[in-house]
Amino acid sequence: MSDDLSPSSALAIEKSHSALHSALHASLVLVFKRPLIGHGKQRLAATLGLEKTQMLAQQFLNCALEDLASWAGPVILAPAQEADRHWAETLINGAEQGAELKGAEVIPQGEGNLGQRIIDLDQRLRQMGHQRLVYIGSDAPALTRHHYRSLNALLQETDVVLSAAEDGGVTIMASGQPWPAGLSELPWSTESLGAALTDCCQRQALRIFDMEPSYDIDIEADLVRLRKDLVGDTRPARQALYRLLKAYGCSPSVTDTPHCRSVVDAVFA
């Protein structure tokens, strides 16, 4: 009798191992847009300009990919549209962020507002066997190792884990249960999102744990704070981002935004 496995047997074993991996560890899902000029981060672009904002968005994405690469469980890249599937697949091989995402899957988002897209993505991933799902964006490089380390244990004790953003949104939304249909009606990208999300989950009797808050990057003042917070962070993508922010010349002691912009102009000249 041959010891070689048939293709169908090998596929069945691979799926079994994948299912076991998903059962033991939560799955980390990156919901993101491709960092193109004029695509996202409009408030930053209004003061920094389109090209500089695009360069920052790429650095933010590198930080998120770094977090996926260090995650112990399954990881999923969910680009904003199907047209970006091939580009997202190149990220798995470390083409841009310098760290391979072995075993990562690319599942593009569907149509609708962010709530509708998360519900659709969540349903598809659960049908694939993912049980506990952690959603992050690509604009919160201030998230620390501590945030990620505690998530698996927390999701074994409660239904939903949220990390509030200081602007009223969220930087992490994780759940061991399907998200309520009411997500599609929430005020996404507003300062009332966090409270509305909590209320939506509570109406479905889901147990919620609010973990350590963080913040995302929307305006120049966030960059000043981020530079300070990244001092001493040894993660390579964060070090690269810190060097870029340091080159900008903006620091906690510099509050004159036009001056910061003039330094940025000099850096990118």
At residue 38, the pLDDT reads: 83
Under CATH, what is the fold of the domain 25-218? Spore Coat Polysaccharide Biosynthesis Protein SpsA; Chain A (3.90.550)
Nearest by Cα to 76 from 65, 84, 87, 86: 65
Profile the chain (269 residues) by mean pLDDT over runs of 10 residues: 48 45 80 91 87 92 95 96 94 66 92 96 97 97 95 94 95 97 94 96 97 94 94 95 83 49 44
Nearest by Cα to 218 from 163, 144, 142: 142
Torsion of CA 55, 61, 67, 73, to 10 degrees: -160
At residue 269, the pLDDT reads: 39
How far is Cα 184 from Cα 77, in angstroms, rounded to an integer? Answer: 21
How far is Cα 196 from Cα 185, in angstroms, rounded to an integer? Answer: 9
Tell me the whole-structure pTM to 2 decimals. Answer: 0.85
